[in-house]
Chains A and B, each alone.
Chain A
Amino acid sequence: MAVSRDRLLTVFSLFILFSFLAYADSNFSHYTLRILQNIAIFITLAVSYNLINGIAGQFSLGPNAFLAVGAYASAIFTLSPEEKLRSFIIEPMLWPLSVISVPFAASLLIAGIVTALVAILMAMPVFRVRGDYLAIVSLGFGEVFQVLANNSMSITNGSLGLKGLQPYTNLWWSWGICVFTVFCTLRLVNSSYGRAMKAVREDETAAEAMGINAFRIKTLAFAFSAFFQGVAGGLLAHLITTISPSLFTFMFTFNLLIIIVIGGLGSTTGSIIAAVLITWGGEALRFFEEPANLFGFQYEGIPGMRMVLFSVILILVMLFARSGIMGRSEFSWEGALGWIKNKLSVMKV
């Protein structure tokens, strides 16, 4: 009974979410819609990044590489042959790629699959090491992909980047993919595979002694997370319509790391909450950078002030709330309803 009640509540809240989006789509400003799409993409990224860092406990710093691979893969496949001919002015594009053009949905799928394959290849060198070494190796790969993107002129157009992408990404694509990612991730985490990932995080030796092939489980988590990061990369590319190697710097990884740490490493719910807070907050805090008149004092506005504020928040979280917003706990209807009931009974008294 509880299961069907929870399912009903979930479907109902999804209905509310999409009704809100429908309302937003026709009533909100272009700027607000852009933020909403950014939020969806960042939820997708954070939830999948949390799978490898929080659930499987492998401190990878490579999502900017996956994002870049996904963005390029999907962009290369949606650009029309004419557009490619126009863009690749220094070196013409490699033959089969230069004439292929597929629908957006197919390009997202390709982006996901290509990125997951890259992750599987990367897993071999990356998972030979653990902990800090793993972080350094994956960080290195992030840089490697930037260099590759800059230098493979006939595939990525080098530092000129890819221009003139169609703005296919809209509210429905970004939120649809976001909900799909969260759904898949939660299903995986609650299955035996998810438990095996947690076992590897908690104690790799004990996991291996219980018959779990740690390398395979880590690779699964890595590829799964890369798949969705690749898809998110495709979404992002068709949201901003111009991509270049300099877009996918380590700052992206750093932002995602802030999100999953503030949300609580290992909690999908936490990743979602923090992704909303940070993405929306990043925009809301812009007024710190604008000139203002504070109680008669003229404040000139300092560009970059937001980042200072973010750093302060991160330091405070690390000092006082190391487990983040959610710790490792997850949202459940059981808990939420219990909490509401509790509040109501307090109000009656």
Chain B
Amino acid sequence: MLLDINGLSVFFGGVQALNKLSLQIRKGEIIGLIGPNGAGKTTAFNAITGRIHPSEGSVFFCGKEITGWPAPRIARNGIARTFQNIKLYEDLSVIENVMIAAHSSISYSFIEAILGVGRYSRDEARIKSRAYELLELMNLGELASEQANSLPYGSQRKLEIARALALNPRLLLLDEPVAGMNPTETREFGQFLLTLRDNLSIGVGLIDHDMSFVMEVCDMIRVIDHGIPIAWGTPSVVRNDPKVISAYLGTDFNGAMDNHATN
């Protein structure tokens, strides 16, 4: 078991952003986390990666409890993530963006960096060639020296994934990776994600609103609504779950459709 979440809850004052979420991700699995806007999906990611402190529950990663660890420590332990509202280092070059994520893997001290001795050159060369490899993998090789915020939206999303992979993660959490992509790009990205999982044998957690994309790539799906988990299962099971349908479309599904038609 790669990631094992039990009864994870997050309260913001009186607001329950997340209520007793349980979720398991195995190696080589792509797990979808879906739900209507404000359901607590990103909150769940934030609580897993240590950006916010969970109020209750536990998070185990590779058998180790990581609940409440600070974010950098969790990242160094092998959970990489992307952000819903892309968070690149905008003023830096594309290659620097990727190289930064390898900072935790350097073995040289800042004194060695200043003197340019010891493990400095070897580490720098390793980080750089690895960064180029990842950019090639994401088809961003030619943009290496561009400034990150000059990239088109879709490429920025890809760059964020390249940066996350530079951490050499065992678990990759993607927050709306195909938002803003057109259907062709989305399909390509789905294919890419499947090959990535097979080649690197990592676990993937995924939030998205593009249902056809989620249904296509995910092995299992967890649905939450207003912070409360309402369904768990394979795409076909989740798709036909009445609770899921009502969460997305309202309880009076037929009535809503009728109203829509008369309007």
Contact = CB atoms under 8 A, between A and B. Distances in A.
A328 B92 CA distance: 10
Contacts of B101: 210-211
A214 B106 CA distance: 16
A206 B89 contact: yes
A254 B8 CA distance: 49
Contact of A214 (B72, B73, B90, B163): B72
Given A191-B124, A202-B92, A205-B87, A196 B72 contact: no
Contacts of A90: none
Nearest to B78: A211
A30 interface: no
B88 A196 contact: no
A211 B166 CA distance: 11
Interface string A166-202: 0000000000000000001001100111011011001
A192 B113 contact: yes
B72 A213 contact: yes
A203 B100 contact: no
Interface string B99-141: 1111110101010011110001001100100000000000000
Contacts of A278: none
B65 interface: no
A209 interface: yes
Contacts of B33: none
B99 A195 contact: yes
Contacts of A208: 51, 70-72, 75
Nearest to B79: A209
B72 A212 contact: yes
Contacts of B104: 210-212
Interface residues of B, number: 39
A201 to B, nearest CB: 8
A207 B100 contact: yes
Interface string A66-83: 000000000000000000
Interface string B74-101: 0110001101000111111000100111
A211 B75 contact: yes
Contacts of A45: none
Contacts of A195: 92, 96, 99-100, 103
Nearest to B86: A206
Contacts of A207: 89, 100
B58 interface: no
A210 B100 contact: yes
B105 to A, nearest CB: 9
A220 interface: yes
Given A187-B116, A192-B123, A211 B87 contact: no
Contact of A191 (B83, B89, B91, B110): B110
B156 interface: no
B90 A193 contact: no
A206 B91 CA distance: 14
Residue in B71, B80, B81 with the greatest tally of chain A CB atoms within 10 Å:
B71
Contacts of A213: 70, 72-73
A3 B25 CA distance: 48
A198 B96 contact: yes
A208 B100 CA distance: 11
B167 interface: yes
Contacts of B67: none
B236 to A, nearest CB: 33
A100 B96 CA distance: 48
B49 interface: yes
B123 A210 contact: no
Interface in B49-75: 49, 51, 70-73, 75
Given A192-B100, A195-B92, A202-B90, 4 more contacts: A191-B108, A195-B100, A210-B101, A213-B70
Interface of A: 184, 187-188, 191-193, 195-196, 198-199, 202-203, 205-214, 220, 224, 328
26 contacts: A187-B114, A192-B100, A192-B102, A192-B103, A192-B113, A195-B92, A195-B100, A196-B103, A198-B89, A198-B92, A198-B96, A199-B103, A203-B89, A203-B90, A205-B51, A205-B71, A206-B87, A208-B70, A209-B83, A210-B75, A210-B100, A210-B101, A210-B103, A210-B163, A211-B167, A328-B91
Closest 5 pairs between A and B when the two form their complex, measured CB to CB: A191-B113, A202-B89, A211-B75, A211-B104, A206-B87
